[in-house]
A = this chain, B = another copy of it.
């Protein structure tokens, strides 16, 4: 019997280091895949269809919306972005834990459809550290940093909707912790119905 994968939603403040964390998780451990989003924006140099994104025409994207082929989608800067259901479903069926990096509105939409999805929120060790990381990039103006900090305040309101938080202080430790949380999640009764039913049937036979 092959166990079904878990749909894992990773959110967190901009600057908390979710991207690096997720990449390291994929690098260090087997059994994970990243969900590939669909978008109508044009590919940038070096981007490959099916790797960074599934690049679709506007009509194709709207067709997908119409057939309920997207778990969630949003329009941002005149372009559609969304999560193709078929790709996610296939990976879950193959036993892969599928990781989706997405902000809170998307996360809540996913939880509604996939009650069994695992919602993880990546936090910096402190707000000061978050600011230092944003400043440290050296690429952002003070205005952008302030905008990010204000967005973090908004995002922080939703933390209680998540199943777990992970504090990204040390990348190595945090990656291991993320992996352990996901491993633990495989052990809930709801995710082991078949095993439990089998034991029940067997016990009936053995008694």
Q: List 24 A-B contacts (CB under 8 A).
A: A121-B189, A124-B199, A126-B199, A127-B203, A127-B205, A127-B206, A128-B202, A131-B206, A146-B207, A149-B203, A150-B207, A152-B207, A153-B207, A156-B200, A159-B189, A160-B196, A162-B189, A164-B188, A165-B195, A177-B183, A177-B184, A180-B183, A181-B184, A183-B184
**Chain B residues, CB < 8 A from A131:** 206
Contact partners of A199 in chain B: CB under 8 A: 123-124, 126-127, 156
Interface residues of A (CB under 8 A from B): 121, 123-124, 126-128, 130-131, 146, 149-150, 152-153, 156, 159-160, 162-167, 177, 180-181, 183-185, 187-190, 192, 195-196, 198-200, 202-207
Q: Once the chains are docked, how many angstroms separate the CA of A121 from the CA of B38?
A: 41
In the assembly, what is the distance between CA of A121 and CA of B190, in Å? 13
Query: Please, which residues of chain B bring their CB within 8 A of the CB of A203?
Result: 127, 130, 149, 152-153, 156
Q: Assess whether B196 is in contact with A165, with CB atoms less than 8 Å apart.
A: yes
* Among B128, B162, B187, contact of A165 (Cβ-Cβ < 8 Å): B187
- Residues of B with C-beta under 8 A to A188: 163-165
Nearest 10 Cβ contacts at the A-B interface: A127-B202, A184-B184, A149-B207, A181-B184, A164-B187, A127-B203, A180-B180, A127-B206, A150-B207, A153-B203
